[in-house]
Chain A
Amino acid sequence: MANDIKVPTMAELFAEGKSPEVLFWVGCAGSFDDRAKKITKAFVQLLAKANVSFAVLGTEESCTGDPAKRSGNEFLFQMQAMTNIEVMNAYGIKKIVTACPHCFNTLKNEYPGLGGTYEVVHHTQFLKQLFNNNRISLEGGKFKGKRITYHDPCYLGRANDVYEAPRELIRKLDAELVEMKSCKQRGLCCGAGGAQMFKEPEKGDKDVNIERTEQALDTSPEIIAAACPFCNTMMTDGVKNKEKEDKVAVMDIAELLASAGDL
């Protein structure tokens, strides 16, 4: 990885008899999707800057089973969940941070019933804590005064009532946070949830991500901030569809912070 940051795996630390402060659950998008990999790296840079001892599962990580469960395949979901729980319990994992709200929701809410109970936080909550504990700080930065609108991911917002952590982080950038017509509890979905990401939409007169992108563009933002790799893809596609990609960037909050701090 750039900047020569070492990304340790749980297996390596375990062999050395160490255990990290937190497990970074990367997720499938964060591991494989080219766009989402940038979010993963930005978050790792922030973790390194704050001297957080962390590790990833690496090749021992497997899909949480979220898209299978939302598709109705409870078998596959529970197979995935129990396999992952076995791995994490063997390492004695206590705390997990993830940049994907779908992984976050599943790990936090649906794993405990299957034997996997951990403290699970979303990366925006984790970063907020780092700021609060003065483990990380930001002076002005290049987003000062920029218009940023924030898109609430359903599985972070409505599903788990996390609305403020991401917004607080945006305020740290000294940026102008503008809200869309539908936000917070009434935020409009990007169209990817419930495994829609992996299929063609049903017949209709518009795609959901276009509708949501229009709401975002109505705020005349310079940046659309996202906090979910899937929302990021949907909004990026929406902005391209509107041929606004030269003027409006879609960025994850971790990327905004890493880029503002010039990491």
Chain B
Amino acid sequence: MEYLPNILFGVLLIAGIGFFSRNVNSLLRNIKLGKDVDVSDNKPQRWQNMARIALGQTKMVVRPVAGLLHIIVYLGFIIINIEVLEIIIDGLLGTHRVFAPLGSIYNFLIASFEILALLVIISVTAFWVRRNIIRLSRFIKPEMKGWPKKDGNMILYIEFVLMILFLTMNAADFQLQQLNAEHYTQAGAFPISQHLASLFQGMEVSSLIVIERTAWWLHIIGILVFLNYLYYSKHLHILLAFPNTYYGKVVPKGKFKNLDAVTDEVKLMLDPSADPFAAPAEDEGEPGKFGASDVSDLNWVQLLNAYTCTECGRCTDECPANQTGKKLSPRKIMMDTRDRLEEVGKNIEKNKGTFADDGKQLLDDYITREELWACTTCNACVQACPVSIDPLSIIMDMRQYLVMEQSSAPSELNNMMGNIENNGAPWPFNQMDRLNWAND
């Protein structure tokens, strides 16, 4: 019976990590549904982007208030997790504060965790106020109803509770150390929780141990639950921001990709020596589909983008179409892509590894044509994203599908394109009049 807590801890840890790896597998399987894309170029630039944008949070501080609060929570998350390492070792070995022999370094670490924990509590509260009391417009847009709203708050509640548990655990521990309780090594500095310890004044050692142990267990269980919550949440960005900034666009924002399949066809059309009646080569498969109408037509980086989106809404806030009341919201493009991808993933799971047609697709069932045609391709959304997501590339791929597969551009655009085809300008002017301005 002596080892029961150790065994219980081991089982919880294995279950937590096991479920998490199952989630990671589903995530990878879904992302791999995307088309292949070559991202082996510009490696130094890509590492630099990751270091600067994800690790260094450079784009977060474009908005100073949210940026500062976010950096606190981010640092808190990374640094306080050193403590989780100690908790895991203690849990498995039945030790208590196994890093205590580090002495003054240990005291410094625990003290900084405590200060960060308090700052995180303050920041998380400020975030909650921004979402629920001030109600910043980007948090109350139509796409933020229901689950996205709950999800946003849930993350804040979990973080708040975890920090409270951490401080409660330390406060009880501090009090136990003061009482020279057995097993409770004199270690750590508690600049925040020593003030909470006064709440425990006069309590029996046994009750204090119950409080300390309960907080300790709930804290680590909370962390394991949070880890497994990620896959269902916008909070996945804490992991995916790193690969996403690495794989983000490294060419000028104005450079849109040229479709190779089209290049081949156009070359053939312009080649005077090509035989228009030549039989297609034997190995030529079905001609590829142009553009995207569903998630599997997008490339895997675009799908990674969708999972990385944390729905902060900076893209939508900067979008000229959205600002002027159009339906388009770049954030919704990313959320719809993720929702549809999840739906496809579940379908594959249900049908033992193959996708069974469900009569739905990303276009129309999630993203409407009105949204796609409202985009001015101004790149404001791409610029605004703090983790290098490119909603514009998805919009463009879907426009390509509408125009090249369905010929369903708005009629004025068809007129414009007809003019370019016939007289080399978007307006109906004669090509032979191109130089008339020089003689006016």
Binding site for B on A (CB under 8 A): 1, 7, 9, 26, 28, 30-33, 37, 40-41, 44, 56, 58-59, 61-63, 65, 67-76, 78-80, 82-83, 86, 105, 108-110, 113-114, 154-155, 158-161, 185-186, 188-189, 191-208, 210-212
Known pairs A72-B404, A82-B270, A109-B254; A7 contacts B409 (CB<8 A): no
Q: Once bound together, how far apart are the Cα atoms of A41 and B436, in whole Å? A: 12
Residues in A with CB closer than 8 Å to B224 are: none
Interface residues of B in 341-398 (CB under 8 A from A): 370, 373-380, 382-384, 396, 398
Secondary structure of the B side of the interface?
Answer: helix
> Is B399's CB under 8 angstroms from A71's CB?
yes
> Is A202's CB under 8 angstroms from B328's CB?
yes
Q: B258: which of A33, A74, A186 is its contact (CB, 8 Å)?
A: A74
Q: Give min CB distance, A83 to chain B, whole Å.
A: 7
Binding site for A on B (CB under 8 A): 62, 251-256, 258-259, 262-263, 265-267, 269-270, 290-291, 318, 320-321, 323-328, 370, 373-380, 382-384, 396, 398-404, 409-410, 412-413, 415-417, 420-421, 424-427, 429, 431-440
> Is A159's CB under 8 angstroms from B253's CB?
yes
Q: A110: which of B258, B399, B432, B434 is its contact (CB, 8 Å)?
A: B258
Known pairs A26-B434, A72-B402, A78-B266; A195 contacts B416 (CB<8 A): yes
Q: Once bound together, how far apart are the Cα atoms of A44 and B384, in whole Å? A: 37
- Chain A residue at smallest Cβ distance from B327: A202
Residues in A with CB closer than 8 Å to B409 are: 71-73
Known pairs A7-B438, A76-B420; A198 contacts B403 (CB<8 A): no
Q: Once bound together, how far apart are the Cα atoms of A78 and B374, in whole Å? A: 24
23 CB < 8 A contacts A-B: A7-B435, A28-B427, A30-B437, A31-B429, A33-B427, A37-B440, A56-B438, A63-B420, A63-B425, A72-B401, A74-B290, A80-B424, A82-B267, A108-B252, A114-B258, A114-B263, A186-B318, A199-B412, A200-B410, A203-B326, A205-B325, A208-B321, A211-B323
Q: Once bound together, how far apart are the Cα atoms of A37 and B323, in whole Å? A: 32
Q: Give min CB distance, B315 to chain A, whole Å.
A: 12
Q: Give min CB distance, A256 to chain B, whole Å.
A: 19
> Is B374's CB under 8 angstroms from A202's CB?
yes
- Chain A residue at smallest Cβ distance from B323: A211
In this complex, the member of A9, A32, A74, A83 whose beta carbon has the largest number of chain B beta carbons within 10 angstroms is: A74
> Is B326's CB under 8 angstroms from A69's CB?
no
Known pairs A73-B409, A198-B412; A83 contacts B270 (CB<8 A): yes
> Is B252's CB under 8 angstroms from A109's CB?
yes
Q: Once bound together, how far apart are the Cα atoms of A32 and B320, in whole Å? A: 28
Known pairs A72-B404, A154-B378, A204-B325; A61 contacts B434 (CB<8 A): yes
Q: Give min CB distance, A135 to chain B, whole Å.
A: 22
Q: A189: which of B251, B252, B270, B376 is its contact (CB, 8 Å)?
A: B376
> Is B427's CB under 8 angstroms from A185's CB?
no
Residues in A with CB closer than 8 Å to B396 are: 70, 72
Q: Give min CB distance, B30 to chain A, whole Å.
A: 26
Residues in B with CB closer than 8 Å to A211 are: 320, 323-324
> Is B324's CB under 8 angstroms from A56's CB?
no
Q: Once bound together, how far apart are the Cα atoms of A62 and B370, in whole Å? A: 30
> Is B435's CB under 8 angstroms from A58's CB?
yes
Q: Give min CB distance, B421 to chain A, whole Å.
A: 6
> Is A186's CB under 8 angstroms from B290's CB?
no
Q: Give min CB distance, B141 to chain A, whole Å.
A: 14
Q: Give min CB distance, B233 to chain A, whole Å.
A: 29
Query: What are the 8 A-B residue pairs with the smallest beta carbon separation, nearest first?
Result: A159-B254, A72-B399, A194-B377, A205-B325, A62-B424, A109-B255, A189-B378, A204-B325
Residues in A with CB closer than 8 Å to B325 are: 203-206
Q: Once bound together, how far apart are the Cα atoms of A245 and B323, in whole Å? A: 25
Q: B383: which of A56, A63, A158 is its contact (CB, 8 Å)?
A: A158
Q: Once bound together, how far apart are the Cα atoms of A31 and B416, in whole Å? A: 16
